[in-house]
């Protein structure tokens, strides 16, 4: 008898079919990876197992946990089951904890609700759970608040809440997507060890093939509410009998074809950044002392040649976003200077030159908050025209809108639609159109593909490579995702704690990293092929 058996699960929400005949099976001590793109139904499958479905959902089929059919359970019985037999870990550690409760109280709450033990006993179990997830009592007493903790530590608290009562089944819905690579590696390792210690079943929901290849024993691949392929990890990846599996696999390893002669020696630099410093004022300690400063960017220098694509890699808090804002002249710098095409753009004490602003444009990470929802596309993408001295007349404006939209693979007729009529990938195309429309020499791509599904990401990367070849525009590609940086950049810079620690041609840095931090980053990045080979080696050893 399996730990969890889902058979012929079909589900519809307000008569809209969401899942069709989903079959899943997981044994105790096993990790099942559920992989799919957004909208594939992987999260709703998990919610169906927890019976936490949105209002208006109707499902049929059977869900059996330890042989007990969940469809016969009342809501009250399900409440007893949740947290006790099934635990869940969510994607966003920043919102999964209540900011006004201590971590001890939050972990103890689950225990109090289920075990009926005394408050003291509950706190003892909570302490134990926190110890198990790697939060020792010396640094992490029970009375600490979530705001004291980093994202990775918060995710550990969330995991402690889920495993406090040693559930038989743990469901982790994109548990590491919001985390840095090195933190991701630690959390994945923790989950793996918990599965082994407690002989627990783990359903790992993710969009990242490399992560599941490393973690999961079995994999189910979902698309549009259907499991298109399922099986043992290594054989599934080696065979890939379903075309969608192959498409996913290719998209996640996608390397766009590019002209090789970018940033050839002797070409002019588009931007030169010379020992730029950005300080933030810290809150005053006392009324009479001057406030201290936090140096977010510490004497950073870099140059980007005409038509060159440069990657900037680093983890959250390393100062890459602050540097972006300084390059965009949104914030004043406290030292050094930024030159565009050889002319001074921004330096200490002086505001940026408005006329030069048009040479740098930006594409942001989140396609859903990048646009004013009340404007139509034509108005959205022509916003940078504000920087022109002479506004183009109606005819020229329409022509440029049409060119920009067709450059990014959209129709000129899309100009009259509102932004909510577009999907995430299309929105990111519109964001690129907005950056392109005044023909800048440099586009900063701030995590521009991080929020996209792998197949969409591959398309956007192709588009970016094509645009850089055709229009000879330079990119500064800021990302925490090393595989994406490797695919699209000529040169890469590694940033840590406000400083550039390593710089070089992309392939050389990836093949032969010099700085210890770069090596650490590369080691933490999950790689599909290596994970599969390690898995096979283990199988033959046994």
Partner 1 sequence: MSDPQIIMERPAGMVHAALRSPSFMIGLVLTLLFTVAALLSFVWTPFDVTQLNIANKLKSPSATHWLGTDAFGRDIFSMLMVGARTSIAVAIVAVGIGIVVGVPLGLLAAARHGSLIDEFVMRTNDLIFAFPALLMAIMITAVFGPSALNAIIAIGIFNIPVFARLARGAALSLWTRDYVLAARVAGKGRTLISAEHILPNITNLLIVQGTIQFSLGILAEAGLAYVGLGTQPPLPSWGRMLSDAQTMIYIAPNLAIFPGLAIVLTVLGLNLMGDGMRDIFDPKLRRAR
Q: Choose between 167 and 367: whose C-beta lies nearer to partner 1.
A: 367
Q: Choose between 33 and 440: whose C-beta lies nearer to partner 1.
A: 440
Q: Choose between 327 and 482: whose C-beta lies nearer to partner 1.
A: 327
The only residue of 85, 298, 337, 366 in contact with partner 1, by rule CB under 8 A: 366
User: Are the C-beta atoms of 221 and 243 separated by less than 8 Å?
Assistant: no
Q: Residue 40 corresponds to which tokens in the numbers above?
A: 């594939």
The only residue of 114, 339, 357, 486 in contact with partner 1, by rule CB under 8 A: 357
Q: Mask 7-46, x = binds partner 1 (CB under 8 A)? A: ---------x--------------------xxx-------
Q: How many residues does the chain have?
A: 542
Residues facing residue 274 across a β-bridge: 337
Interatomic CA distance for residues 424 and 430, integer angstroms: 10
227 half-sphere exposure, CB direction, 13 A CA radius: 20
Q: Choose between 98 and 369: whose C-beta lies nearer to partner 1.
A: 369
Q: Mask 404-423, x = binds partner 1 (CB under 8 A)? A: ------------xxx-xxxx
Q: Residue 306 corresponds to which tokens in the numbers above?
A: 């005409």
Which residues in 223-242 contact partner 1 (CB under 8 A)?
224
Which range, of 63-71, 271-279, 379-387, 393-401, touches partner 1 by CB under 8 A?
379-387
Minimal distance in Å, beta carbon 215 to partner 1? 26
Residues near 355 by beta carbon (within 8 Å), at least 6 away in sequence:
387, 389
The CA distances from residue 393 to 39, 276, 390, 437, 524, in Å, are 42, 39, 9, 15, 53
Binding of residue 378 to partner 1 (CB under 8 A)? no
Which range, of 122-130, 162-170, 213-221, 377-385, touches partner 1 by CB under 8 A?
377-385
271 half-sphere exposure, CB direction, 13 A CA radius: 32
Q: What's 459's DSSP letter?
A: H
Minimal distance in Å, beta carbon 279 to partner 1? 16
- Which helix (H) or strand (E) segment is 405 a member of? helix 394-407
Binding of residue 117 to partner 1 (CB under 8 A)? no
> What angle do the packed helices 424-436 and 454-471 form, to 10 degrees?
20
Binding of residue 384 to partner 1 (CB under 8 A)? yes
The only residue of 156, 258, 359, 434 in contact with partner 1, by rule CB under 8 A: 434
Interatomic CA distance for residues 53 and 44, integer angstroms: 7
> What angle do the packed helices 454-471 and 243-252 form, to 10 degrees?
50
Q: What's 342's DSSP letter?
A: T
Minimal distance in Å, beta carbon 537 to partner 1? 37
Which range, of 204-212, 225-233, 360-368, 526-534, touches partner 1 by CB under 8 A?
360-368
Binding of residue 525 to partner 1 (CB under 8 A)? no
Binding of residue 453 to partner 1 (CB under 8 A)? yes
Interatomic CA distance for residues 464 and 448, integer angstroms: 10
Residue with structure tokens 């404007």?
375
The only residue of 59, 140, 345, 371 in contact with partner 1, by rule CB under 8 A: 371
Which range, of 186-194, 210-218, 268-276, 355-363, touches partner 1 by CB under 8 A?
355-363
In the sheet that 16-26 helps form, which strands lie side by side, from edge to edge?
A: 16-26, 4-13, 57-65, 68-69
Minimal distance in Å, beta carbon 535 to partner 1? 31
- Which helix (H) or strand (E) segment is 271 a member of? strand 269-281
The bridge status of strand 442-446 relative to strand 360-363 is parallel
Which residues in 262-321 contact partner 1 (CB under 8 A)?
none
Q: Choose between 236 and 360: whose C-beta lies nearer to partner 1.
A: 360
Q: Choose between 156 and 223: whose C-beta lies nearer to partner 1.
A: 223
The only residue of 372, 403, 406, 516 in contact with partner 1, by rule CB under 8 A: 372
Binding of residue 350 to partner 1 (CB under 8 A)? no
The bridge status of strand 491-496 relative to strand 499-505 is antiparallel
Q: Which residues of the chain form contacts with partner 1 (CB under 8 A)? A: 16, 37-39, 224, 328, 330, 354, 357-358, 360-362, 364-366, 369-374, 383-387, 416-418, 420-425, 431, 434, 453, 456
């Amino acid at each position: 008898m399996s730990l969890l058996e889902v058979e012929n699960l079909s589900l519809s929400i307000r008569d809209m079919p969401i899942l069709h005949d989903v079959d899943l099976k997981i044994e105790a001590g096993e990790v099942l990876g559920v992989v799919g793109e957004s909208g594939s139904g992987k999260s709703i499958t998990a919610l169906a197992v927890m019976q936490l479905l949105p209002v208006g959902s109707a499902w049929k089929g059977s869900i059996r946990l330890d042989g007990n059919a969940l469809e016969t359970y009342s809501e009250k019985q399900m409440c007893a089951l949740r947290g006790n037999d099934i635990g869940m870990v969510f994607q966003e550690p920043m919102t999964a904890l209540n900011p006004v409760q201590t971590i001890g109280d939050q972990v103890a709450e689950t225990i109090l609700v289920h075990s009926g033990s005394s408050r003291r006993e509950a706190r003892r179990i909570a302490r134990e759970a926190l110890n198990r997830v790697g939060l020792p009592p010396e640094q992490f007493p029970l009375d600490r608040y979530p705001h004291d903790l980093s994202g990775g530590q918060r995710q550990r608290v969330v995991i402690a809440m889920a495993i406090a009562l040693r559930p038989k089944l743990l469901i982790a819905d994109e548990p590491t997507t919001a985390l840095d690579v090195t933190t991701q590696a630690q959390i994945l390792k923790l989950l793996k060890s918990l599965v082994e210690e407690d002989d627990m079943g783990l359903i790992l929901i993710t969009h990242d093939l490399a992560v599941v290849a490393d973690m999961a024993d079995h994999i189910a691949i979902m698309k549009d509410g259907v499991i298109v392929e399922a099986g043992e990890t290594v054989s599934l990846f080696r065979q890939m009998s379903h075309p969608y599996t192959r498409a996913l696999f290719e998209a996640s390893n996608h390397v766009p074809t590019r002209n090789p002669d970018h940033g050839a020696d002797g070409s002019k630099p588009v931007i030169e950044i010379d020992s730029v410093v950005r300080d933030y004022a810290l809150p005053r300690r006392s009324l009479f002392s001057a406030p201290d400063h936090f140096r977010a960017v510490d004497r950073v220098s870099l140059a980007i040649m005409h038509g060159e694509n440069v990657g900037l890699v680093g983890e959250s808090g390393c100062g890459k976003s602050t540097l972006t804002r300084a390059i965009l002249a949104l914030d004043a710098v406290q030292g050094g200077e930024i030159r565009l095409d050889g002319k001074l753009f921004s330096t200490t004490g002086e505001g940026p030159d408005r006329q030069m602003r048009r040479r740098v444009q930006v594409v942001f990470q989140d396609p859903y908050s990048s646009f004013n929802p009340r404007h139509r596309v034509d108005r959205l993408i022509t916003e940078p025209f504000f920087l022109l001295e002479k506004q183009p007349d109606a005819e020229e404006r329409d022509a440029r809108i049409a060119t920009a939209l067709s450059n990014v693979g959209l129709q000129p007729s899309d100009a009259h639609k509102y932004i909510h009529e577009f999907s995430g990938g299309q929105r990111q195309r519109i964001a690129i159109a907005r950056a392109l429309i005044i023909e800048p020499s440099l586009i900063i791509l701030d995590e521009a593909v991080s929020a996209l599904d792998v197949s969409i990401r591959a398309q956007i990367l192709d588009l970016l490579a094509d645009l850089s070849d055709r229009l000879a525009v330079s990119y500064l590609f800021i990302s925490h995702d090393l595989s994406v940086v490797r695919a699209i950049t000529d040169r890469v810079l590694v940033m840590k704690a406000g400083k550039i620690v390593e710089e070089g041609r992309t392939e050389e840095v990836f093949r032969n990293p010099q700085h210890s931090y770069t090596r650490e980053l590369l080691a933490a990045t999950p790689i599909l092929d290596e994970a599969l080979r390690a898995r096979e080696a283990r199988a033959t050893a046994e």
